[in-house]
Structure 1
Amino acid sequence: MELRHLRYFLAVAEEGQFTRAAARLHIRQPPLSQQIQELEQELGFALFVRQPRGVALTAAGETFAARARSVLLELDNAVIQARRVAQGHIGTVRVALTSSAAFHPLTPTAIRNFRELYPEVAIDMTEVNAADIIEMMVDDRADAAILRKPVHTPAGLRFELLAEERMLLVLPVGHRLISSRAIALQKLANESFIFVRRHGAPGMYADFISACQSKGFEPHVVEEVPRMVTAINLVAAGGGISLVPASMHRYHQESVRYCRVAGDRAFRAPLHLVTRDDSQSAVASHFRKTLLAFVHRHPSRE
């Protein structure tokens, strides 16, 4: 039995006549009659009672028609669902992001915009450090990622700039340097720094460290932590000072102060979208295009 047999059968049942059913199906009437006879032989019971001016369903035919309609409707729904999955309107997009990237207002706003456009796409979010994100993307364990500054850009990955902002010093309330409008690098020579671990965010502090070295000192790093939020917490507790993207300046405002570095134009915190060049995921493609379009319409301003 083939699906066409069900469609032929239902056409005859609904038209009550072979001639009209054949016209509806765009086939000749004799082959249609033959197909129905073959179906009845395969089933082992009559589907129709032949009448002078057409046909009527038998009791068994009535039951079979109801089931046949259900089968074809289920098949049509399956095709529609599968097509929507293939087109990227249904599915899951795996997104990895760093904690500092999550703090940038662009990130939640752009993702919310994607949710509104593709409400049937689930977003599976994972928060990890930049080094782990690159590994996840290379291993195809994430479809897209949002991070700051990658230490390396492996072949096969696409890095696109979403936004850029200045870096700010984080000092505990009452620190002697807070009164300065912008703090000169030389005044930081004797400070204790708390940075995100170099393995986790190896590219974030490179420009700052190089600038310090050019002024004749090496930043004294007393602790390396997994996330910038942890660094701010330690600054609030008096453990040292740190450097974070400006978008994090609302965190812990009662316990820390955020200050600019004099001549800080070199200390920038970019925000990148990472995707795979060879991705076959329509959902991932929609995610990338939607975020880039959103950024184009709402450029980031400091």
Structure 2
Amino acid sequence: MELRHLRYFIAVAEHQSVRLASEQLHITQPAVSRQIQDLEQELGLLLFERSSRGLKLTAAGDSYLRDARQTMAALDAAAHSARRVAAGLLGRLRLGCVENAGWDGLVPRAFSHFQAEAPEVQIALEVRNTPEQLRAMADGALDGGFIYQYEPLPEALTGLPLLEHDVVLALPRCWDGDYDETRPIALRGLAERPFVMLPRAAYPGYYDRLNSACRQLGVHLKVAQEASTETAILSLVCAGIGAAIVNSANLGRPPAQARLLRLQDLSLPMPLTFVWRQGAANPVLARFLALLRHETGQEK
């Protein structure tokens, strides 16, 4: 049995006429009649009562028509879903994101536009730092992610540069001092103050770049405490434990008990990059990449 048998049968049953069915199908009448006869022979039963007045479904034929319609509807639905999956409009996308990159600007805008474009796609978003994301992509646990890239990517991964953030100074509001949040501040003037830092193990590439930039400035930061995430660092700043050098993306969600000040004498570009596995076969990922290229003016 082939699908055309069902299509021809349904057409004949709905028109109760081989002639009208053949006109609808653009197939000759003998060909339609032959297919109906072949179907009846294969099933071992009559689907139609034939008379000079035309065709009429038998009881078996009426039952078969209901099931045939359901089968064709299910096949049409399956084909529709498959086309949407192939177009990246249906499926699941597992993405990582450095937390502060998702608060303002490009990343949340891209998610919003993608949701409007492909509302049936499920995005599973995980907040992870850059090294954690790279490991997860290497293990196949993430399809892609937004990272800050300071080192060459592993061979299996490729990246799309998006934008650059910089660093700012986070100061506890409980510290004494006349700080104007509209004017940049010099890091050299705070070198004797305690600082909260990431441990090197959390992100060696960033840690080394930051310390190198401070050494070139002639500043040796006094580390009072370390914390493994920038959220934890800012919590300690708010508690008055120390100042911190943090991502300017935090300006999109400034902590209530910390001042975020631009720096006069220190700049450390933080390149935000979208990274994914080379040769990834997920059509949803391909559509998301196309949107990111459009958002950043990098269409191929």
- TM-score > 0.5, shorter chain as reference: yes
Following TM superposition, by how much is the alpha carbon of 1:69 offset from its aligned partner in structure 2, in angstroms?
Answer: 1.2
5+ residue gaps, structure 2: none
Aligned to 2:237: 235
Distance 1:150 1:94 in 2: 23
**RMSD across aligned positions (CA):** 2.4
Amino acid in the other structure paired with 2:285: A
Post-superposition CA distance 1:9-52 (Å, at most 9, x none): 22222332334434544444444333322322332321111112
Q: 1:233 to 1:287 in 2, by over 3 A?
A: same
Residues 155-164 or 68-77, more deviating:
155-164
Residue deviations 1:250-301, cap 9 Å, x none?
Answer: 645542212222233x32223221123311111001111212322339xxxx
Name which of structure 1's ranges 210-219 and 236-245 shifts more when overlaid on structure 2.
Answer: 210-219
Residues 223-268 of structure 1: per-residue CA shift (max 9 Å, x gap): 322221110110111211111122313645542212222233x322
Give matches, 1:207-218, under 5 Å. Answer: 207-218=209-220
Deviation at 1:119, TM superposition (A): 0.7
- Using structure 1 for the length normalisation, give the TM-score: 0.87
Aligned equivalent of 1:60: 60
**Cα deviation code 1:135-176 (max 9, x no counterpart):** 112222212211223434112322222222321111112535
**Hey, what's the Cα distance between the residues in 2 that align with 1:183 and 1:156?**
42
CA distance in 2, matches of 1:149, 1:220: 26
C-alpha spacing 1:198/1:104, structure 2 compared with 1 (3 Å): farther
Following superposition, the deviation at residue 195 of structure 1 comes to 2.0
- Tell me, what secondary structure is at the counterpart of 1:257? strand
CA distance in 1, matches of 2:24, 2:179: 86
1:74 corresponding residue in structure 2: 74
2:164 counterpart SS class = strand
Q: What is the aligned partner in structure 2 of residue 276 from structure 1? A: 277
Q: Alpha-carbon deviation of 1:92?
A: 0.9
Q: Percent identity?
A: 35
What is aligned with 1:48? 48
Q: Aligned partners of 1:109, 1:38: CA distance in 2, in Å? A: 58
Count of matched residue pairs: 296
How far the C-alpha of 1:121 sits from its partner, in A, is 0.7
Whether the aligned pair in 1 keeps the contact of 2:103 and 2:252 (CA below 8 Å) is no
Match of 1:300 in 2: none
Aligned-partner Cα distance in 2 for 1:23–1:133: 60
CA contact (8 A) 2:92 2:121 kept: yes
